Amino acid sequence: MKIVLAPDSFKESLTAAAVCEAIAEGLRSVLPDAVIDKCPVADGGEGTVDALVAATGGAFESTEVAGPLGEPVVARWGMLGDASATAVLEMAAASGLAMVPPAKRDPLKTTTFGTGQLIRAAMDRGAKRLVVGIGGSATTDGGMGCAQAFGIRFLDADGRALADRAGGADLARIERIDVSGLDPRIGEVEILVACDVDNPLCGPRGAAAVYGPQKGATPEAVRQLDANLAHLAGVVQRDLGIDIRSFPGAGAAGGLGAGLVGFLNGVIRPGIEIVIEAVRLAERLVGADLLITGEGRLDRQSVMGKVIAGVGGAARRAEVPAIALVGSVGEGAGETLAVLDAYVSIVNRPMPLDEALSDAAALLRDTAAQVGRLLQIGIDSARSIG
């Protein structure tokens, strides 16, 4: 019997790789001869680097870059363990909101310059394909800082270049964009932008209005940033001939989605699609008898571009049964049966949330062992009938 394990992380509890290990231990306690393929996954947000490196036997790298306020930080990223020369990184490791103390959060000042440095570090390492997760940003600079790290200059009314690591407030000063110094390697690499939101750059659903307040923006700052992003989009349209204003995902990560497309030729795609391709899940499902996935909470949102939807859909296409082991079952969980054959909560008795989080590995092992016993019953029944 071949079983593919492709779970997400259990937030605040276990990484996707640790979830795989716990499920595998439970299955092996009952089915010692089963072939178990551990393939941890993520949807492009937090945990994507860990999942892809673990799933492909890759290697972690660390690079010192500028943090969101310009201070030096060490960002971790990874190279996949295959022959694709693919690097995976998360912008949150360089320009993330969690890196800025609440009292210092101000998207008028924060920059994505460090994210650009991180992408360049991966290219220096030989990457020809880059998967860039863009969730969890502290910034609303439209990707200007990232572009500056690649040699693009943003000129003011006097023809002077804005200082590197400029923030969202500086977007209003841009009068012209000079791409003559752009790193020529950009034309030789593929940049896939993993994104699970569809916000445009500007307007009531734009980067500033929707995400600015959580980054420290006051109502007045939100209005200023929205106007500044609209100004940036106008200059990009005029100077580069690219419309970065309205496509889905342009407003992700404070407009970094727009910037990666407009300045670095990036392509925005749903994160789970990118991850599934990178770990070659379709190939790994060939000959499989079962796929087991999982996440911390299963509800209606699980079918909206998340891991469950992605891996469950892949299993359906491969005609492989799929079940999910989950921490909790919320409203609308039944909708996931469009891509799953069954789901099971690992919480086997009433317990406080902190206990469930701390005991998640043991709960997963026990539940996986029960699944293994049910599989064994099915195997024995088939043999007796045959």
Instruction: Give the other-Cβ count within 10 Å of 231's Cβ.
Output: 17
| CATH 3.90.1510.10 intervals, the chain | 48-272
Q: Compute the distance between CA of residue 249 and CA of residue 310 in angstroms, rounded to an integer.
A: 18
272: part of which helix (H) or strand (E)?
helix 271-278
Q: Compute the distance between CA of residue 221 and CA of residue 105 in angstroms, rounded to an integer.
A: 12
pLDDT at site 385: 75
Residue ranges for the chain with pLDDT beneath 50: none
Q: Compute the distance between CA of residue 133 and CA of residue 97 in angstroms, rounded to an integer.
A: 14
Q: Compute the distance between CA of residue 163 and CA of residue 17 in angstroms, rounded to an integer.
A: 41
Given a contact cutoff of 8 angstroms between Cβ atoms, the answer to whether 198 and 249 are in contact is yes
Give me the phi and psi of 83, to 5 degrees please: -95, 15
Structural tokens at position 120: 């360049």
Task: Indicate the fold that domain 2-41+283-385 takes in CATH.
Answer: Rossmann fold (3.40.50)
Cβ-proximal residues to 338 (8 Å cutoff; 6+ apart), any chain? 303, 312
Q: How far apart are the first and last CA of the chain?
A: 17
**pLDDT tens-digit series, residues 177-231:** 999 999 999 999 999 999 988 899 999 999 999 999 999 999 999 999 999 999 9
Q: Compute the distance between CA of residue 28 and CA of residue 43 in angstroms, rounded to an integer.
A: 27
Structural tokens at position 215: 């980054």
Task: Indicate the fold that domain 48-272 takes in CATH.
Answer: Glycerate kinase, domain 2 (3.90.1510)
pLDDT at site 47: 86
Structural tokens at position 202: 């500007």
| CATH 3.40.50.10350 intervals, the chain | 2-41+283-385
130: part of which helix (H) or strand (E)?
strand 129-133
Closest to 322 in 3D by CA, of 300, 294, 301: 294
In the DSSP assignment, the letter for residue 160 is P
Q: Compute the distance between CA of residue 72 and CA of residue 212 in angstroms, rounded to an integer.
A: 24
Q: What secondary structure does DSSP assign to 29-60, as a single string?
A: TT-TT-EEEE-----SSTTHHHHHHHHHT-EE
Structural tokens at position 79: 């190279």
Distance of CA 254 to the CA centre of its chain: 15
Give me the phi and psi of 331, to 5 degrees please: -60, 135
pLDDT at site 379: 82
Mean pLDDT of the chain: 95
Structural tokens at position 86: 């693919």
Q: Compute the distance between CA of residue 206 and CA of residue 245 in angstroms, rounded to an integer.
A: 9
Instruction: Give the other-Cβ count within 10 Å of 103's Cβ.
Output: 7
